[in-house]
Structure 1
């Protein structure tokens, strides 16, 4: 029976490299509609939840059902992340199984699966990488079009058709790709990058705007004499533009300085009152709930249960993914995640430094670095890990980068210098 099923799936081509590329491109394309699909119901679950389940089944069913071999090099590079995922699933042993916990674990499993599938694709069928990237580009433009309609109807910070924060988190990976293409010499990407950056600004998502600024600076950083001068010029222009926006763009100024104000120490400025949007209270609840469970955590989804009980279901997320990881998986889980996540970013950055002359592979490596760093910044005040449309595009870009590293390494072994 299994042999027959194996031949059927191969004859259809569902699990071949072409099928993998189509699925990865498809999920990137559908991510543009993620926040919309989350509101549409398909029986007891949302349409987006159904898409997520189908996607995860494909990611892991393809490995388990067809018993596809996994590169030893890839496994070693993903070892910290694999250990984190094992630890996260084991947390179900010491905490009750909840819907929120299972959803979180499935989404992080999708992140890991996306990395593995994209890496395998880039290693075995590099010609299909452009299909995947094409899915991201189309997804970004569709999201921009939908959000543009919302801006036309509601004005700056529109939330009706596509929530501003959700759009901005998804657009961040698109910005990473366009920035990388600009650095790779593709001139048309200048206006595309500017268009995405402008949309992020009018979304009024402060964390994403901060991440975008850091991404721009990182993209132009090169530790050489000429590179440092160029970086200083770009940094000066970026900081000056940010100050001008803050002073003269009234909606942005109000977003920072009105509402739940907290005194924050800002370098070279002193204490400034900044709108925290109630996050300070959520963080205090999370830390207080974690007391006594610092090492092992309270279990997957525990922080959502705690916050939901305090606010009678009106709020459930801590708006800080590092606090979520600490609360649910303890210091051990948090350290495993930080090591795995930032080691992936560091590998992509080092690969970019070594291969930036090779235009396309260097572009992939830089885009992966920027996307990982950008979402890491957003995680300080938002819930990226529980949004498929935010974290999976980052995982796919990271996987493409890892696959390109493997391919270059294989070439070097076959054709030594």
Structure 2
């Protein structure tokens, strides 16, 4: 409603002989319509009109015109008063002003002026959507790897600023923005590409993708019963994009050079973003939490998804340093660590420790690469040393000692009660109740968002736990399908790591670590929503592992066939299928 209201007010002011005076009078009348805590409510109104859409209402307190803390924001909403009669008088006055300004026109002309104003706005929006989608379709169909390279380079960059903020377009229809247009356009184009290429379509039936395809098919079917199908479609697109990227990148015919080039796109994009981000922070890209902790943002990206993106970049840098030994990757990884510290995100610290532990364990036991092991331990120690105190204080409200931490770790119930979940536990209780209504099949994609509408002040309809979110939406059955899909990706990465080639290790090792990090992040955050900052990188790393391992095995088999020609069918010992090689023609499309 915000944009039509703003246009109506703008028409009222424009029709006045004294526009400035009319605007001042309008604001004074709006202020007079407020009762208790009117100053705080008026700042919220200003923030609402100037700040654009936000994931949760309390984030309006971060808009520059809102000079009070988030506590004042909540207090104003809880105890403030608004006079209905005064608001009605305010709107009637604006209506009279519009009528007075158009007094020289007949009724049909006045109506036409209003319709023209709104129609022009909608025409601009529809033209933008058409042009953007047409361009994305064209590029993605002709040069899919170029489009995916741009997506990997952009990473956490939020494009919604181009369309007036998150869901700034067509708010009456649920909202749309440039990020959504990008997701719809690229997903549609990649889907058409897959359907038009038989070899890629056959890849969808491979052991690495079939469970994911079944999960998406079931999720699509649940939309019929969903209480909020629009939100369900949004979630379905975010869940579909990583698989589409995986299928296109891992398509038969892709080479190690192709996926390494995509990795270059991702790292060059990260380098530019991290060097530019100080200017973003200096221009207000940060938030003060509890008046004490500074948390930095990325370019148009909230601190949490920005930190997940940085973790993916860090893992890719460590893997490249391990295989190539070039110091530039170590420097970029160190820069990523410093920005992760700046985000002060608790779950990212835990996920980083687990991911780096995977890398360190593999390096120490299997690879025995001391240089990489030392670099991994130094980067992990740097992150822990700089982040630990802030994370512990944010988590417990004070700095516990080692003995107290061990005591809490030994008592899961006491640990859960001691952690500051920032209201997440209330959301989880609501979701648990919703899950019990249809535990096996789920309530349909979007059901979790619908369930959380009873407490919009807590999260803005966001679950902050992807396990519960899936359980509510698709039930135990759908959650099991998604678990099998992730296990299939993990098996692909592990089997690729067993090939033991430098090019394969460059993708397989960070893929395993990223999957482990994803499993942890999903406990307290919304990883599915962060398809651009995070999940697309997981899919890319797994696809890269499949491609490099497949090419390596092909080279080995070609060498064996030159030494001992044979007319036997393609296969491994005793006719078994070799690792990562599909049945039928070995690599269709090559």
TM-score (norm 1): 0.83
Name the structure 2 match of 1:124: 254
CA distance in 2, matches of 1:372, 1:399: 13
In structure 2, list runs of 5 or more residues that go unmatched.
1-137, 171-175, 288-293, 399-404, 562-590
In structure 2, the residue matched to 1:48 is 179
In structure 2, the partner of 1:84 is 215
Per the normalisation by structure 2, the TM-score is 0.60
- The alpha-carbon deviation at position 378 of structure 1 amounts to 0.9
Deviation at 1:296, TM superposition (A): 0.4
Rounded Cα–Cα distance in structure 2 between residues aligned with 1:231 and 1:132: 23
Residues 375 and 384, structure 1, Cα contact 8 Å, conserved in 2: yes
Among 547, 561, 577, which residue is 1:403 paired with?
547
Structure-2 residue corresponding to 1:393:
537
In 1, Cα distance between the equivalents of 2:180 and 2:204? 33
For the Cα contact (< 8 Å) 1:289–1:327, is it kept in 2?
Answer: yes
Structure 1 residue 333: Cα displacement: 1.0
SS class of match (1:33): coil
| Paired positions, count | 398
Change (3 A) 1:94 1:226: closer
Contact persistence 2:315–2:510 (CA under 8 A): yes
1:14 is displaced (CA, Å) by 6.1
Separation of aligned partners in 2, 1:324 and 1:243:
30
Query: CA shift at 1:326, angstroms?
Result: 0.9
Contact 1:147 1:167 in 2 (8 A): no
Q: Does 1:367 align with 2:510?
A: yes
CA distance in 2, matches of 1:182, 1:235: 10
Distance in 1 of aligned mates of 2:254 and 2:227: 41
Q: 1:313 to 1:64 in 2, by over 3 A?
A: farther
Alignment of 1:160-199 (within 5 A): 161-188=300-327, 189-199=329-339
Match of 1:5 in 2: none
Task: Give the whole-Å Cα distance in 1 for the aligned partners of 2:369 and 2:297.
Answer: 40
User: Which of 348, 352, 364 is the equivalent residue of 1:212?
Assistant: 352
CA change 1:88–1:191 in 2 (3 A) is same
| Selected match of 1:28 from 148, 152, 159 | 152
- The structural deviation recorded for 1:162 is 3.2
Q: Name 1:200's counterpart in structure 2.
A: 340
- Residue-by-residue CA offset, 1:330-366 (whole Å, 9 max, x unaligned): 11111111121133123213322332xx222220111
RMSD: 3.4
Counterpart contact for 1:111–1:395, Cα < 8 Å = yes
What are the Cα deviations for residues 249-298 of structure 1, in whole angstroms up to 9, with x where unaligned?
Answer: 5x444322339xxx997436985532211111111111111113111011
Q: Secondary structure at the match of 2:555?
A: helix
What SS does the aligned partner of 1:157 have? Answer: strand
Q: 1:74 to 1:138 in 2, by over 3 A?
A: farther
Report the alpha carbon displacement of residue 61 of structure 1 after superposing the two structures with TM. 1.1
2:295 maps to 1:157: yes
CA 370–85 in structure 1, closer or farther in 2 if over 3 Å, else same: same
- Asked whether the equivalents of residues 207 and 488 of structure 2 are also in contact (C-alpha less than 8 Å), the reply is no
Matches within 5 A, 1:18-417: 19-34=143-158, 37=161, 39=165, 43-44=169-170, 45-71=176-202, 75-96=206-227, 98-120=229-251, 123-152=253-282, 153=284, 154=286, 156-159=294-297, 161-188=300-327, 189-222=329-362, 224=365, 227=368, 244-245=385-386, 249=389, 251-258=390-397, 266-267=408-409, 271=414, 273-311=418-456, 315-355=460-500, 358-389=501-532, 390-416=534-560
Contact 2:507 2:541 in 1 (8 A): yes
Using a 3 Å threshold, how does the CA distance of structure 1 residues 69 and 140 change in structure 2: closer, same or farther? closer
Contact 2:153-2:265 at 8 Å conserved across structures: yes
Greater Cα radius of gyration, structure 1 or 2 = 2
The 2-side partners of 1:393 and 1:134 are apart by 13
Give the direction of change, closer, same or farther, for the CA distance of 1:53–1:352 in structure 2 (3 Å limit). same
* Deviation for aligned residue 1:15: 3.8
Alpha-carbon spacing, 1:61–1:212, altered in 2? closer, same or farther (3 Å): same
